[in-house]
Amino acid sequence: MQMKVVNSLKEHGLKVTPQRVTILSAIEKKGHANIDEIYQEAKTTNPTMSLATVYKNITSLIETKLLKEVAINNQKSKYELSKKPHSHLICKKCGNLEDIDSHNLFTLNSDKLDFDIEEVELNIYGICNQCKKSN
Amino acid sequence: MQMKVVNSLKEHGLKVTPQRVTILSAIEKKGHANIDEIYQEAKTTNPTMSLATVYKNITSLIETKLLKEVAINNQKSKYELSKKPHSHLICKKCGNLEDIDSHNLFTLNSDKLDFDIEEVELNIYGICNQCKKSN
DNA sequence: GTGTCTGCAAATTATTTGCACGTTG
DNA sequence: CAACGTGCAAATAATTTGCAGACAC
């Protein structure tokens, strides 16, 4: 079994089940995947895996911060293993998503990226001042 | 009728129907809203408005670039009128979304924002090199 | 052994579609 | 009047839930 994935589950206080290991391995293999891609990939390893299990686990893996959701315009959300902060290059034609080191972004010029940038979106998540007060 | 909205529809080559005007006005009023919020708001003006019409129009308004989708982790997508590039402050507690001028972001210090930043996400949409080749 | 997890099936919610009729330009 | 848009109802897709049995620890 994937030792890395097993340890990761333990560290985050989740029971180590074959389904969880399979789901995490599937995401690790694919880099980024939506629910259905995870399900399809996971089934190749564990054919009895149910879609409901994928949904339930994605939820708890996100709650424990083992996974991160990436909501994307015009596509279903993809999921990735939590890793150091980075940005995404998202192809508007094929929908492919690729990680990019945000730091490099400003030292590289955009023409060196081999990607025609159409739109840049910076989303900042946190707690607004209303919510800070009402606690 | 909202002259601004009517002109906007004409400029983008869409027929001006009361439903479209109502939908755009609803979004303008709310700033950002998801499908259901748009539907609810629109019904107050036009009680016979159907949800299917909202869906169909959101699609065509996005295709003609009159609207922009904002996909958000852990929420349904919101929609906003196209305007100059900007970023979003998204509260992880109440889900509220607020525009922020990206340019200001780097001159203001984060403590002046009155928003506790937890996560910053830069998504870059465009055309990847595979798609550029295969055209 | 106990609490958590899984798979299944059913329920719910979200989105899309086909079609008859109405409206826009 | 031709093309397009609308509302309705039905179809499809996406997600959630309840529950009985299985498994992790």
Closest nucleotide to the alpha carbon of B36, via C1': C14
- In chain B, what residues touch A121 (CB-CB under 8 Å)? 70, 87, 122-125
> What residue segments make up the domains of chain B, in order of their start?
2-81, 87-133
The pLDDT tens digits for A94-129 are 888 989 887 766 665 666 677 887 877 888 888 888
Q: How far is the CA of A3 from the C1' of C15 (A)?
A: 40
Interface touch B127/A92, C-beta < 8 Å: yes
At A81 the pLDDT is: 97
Question: Which single residue has its CA nearest the C1' atom of nucleotide D17?
Answer: A52
At A36 the pLDDT is: 98
Q: Which of A88, A114, A132 lies nearest to residue B124, judging by beta carbons?
A: A88
HSE-CB of B59 using CA atoms within 13 angstroms: 6
Interface touch B89/A131, C-beta < 8 Å: no
Integer CA distances (angstroms), A34 to A23, A31, A58, A76, in order? 11, 10, 10, 6
pTM for the full model? 0.92
Quote the mean pLDDT of chain A.
90
Q: Name the residue among A76, A73, A105, A96 with its Cα closest to residue B129.
A: A96
Instruction: Tell me which amino acid residue A3 is.
Output: M
Which residues of B lie closer than 8 Å to A, measured between beta carbons?
A: 69-75, 77, 85, 87-94, 96, 98, 100, 102, 105, 114-132
At A109 the pLDDT is: 61
Token duo for residue B21: 């005007």
More confident residue, B130 or B31: B31
Residue A134 has pLDDT above 80, yes or no: no
Tokens 């990206």, residue located: B102
Residue ranges of E strands in B65-131: 67-70, 78-81, 87-91, 97-100, 115-128
Q: Which nucleotides of D are covered by protein (CB under 7 A)?
A: 4-10, 14-18, 23-25
The CATH H-level superfamily of A87-133 is: Ferric-uptake regulator, C-terminal dimerisarion domain (3.30.1490.190)
The pLDDT tens digits for B64-91 are 999 999 999 999 999 999 998 888 989 9
At B18 the pLDDT is: 98
The pLDDT tens digits for A27-38 are 999 999 999 999
Mutation for B interface: A83, A123, A131, most B CBs within 10 A: A123
A115-128/B115-128 β-pairing: antiparallel
Q: Residue range B116-135: average pLDDT?
A: 81
Q: Which residues pair with A78 in a beta bridge?
A: A70
* Distance from C-alpha of B107 to C-alpha of B84, rounded to nearest angstrom: 18
**Which of A69-73, B7-11, B88-92 bottoms out in mean pLDDT, i.e. has the lowest?**
B88-92
Q: How far does the CA of residue B1 sit from the closest CA of chain A (Å)?
A: 31
* % of chain B residues with pLDDT over 90: 61
At A15 the pLDDT is: 97
**With contact defined as beta carbons under 8 Å apart, do A56 and A65 qualify?**
no
CATH of domain B2-81: 1.10.10.10
The pLDDT tens digits for A35-66 are 999 999 999 999 999 999 999 999 999 999 99
Q: Residue range B46-62: average pLDDT?
A: 98
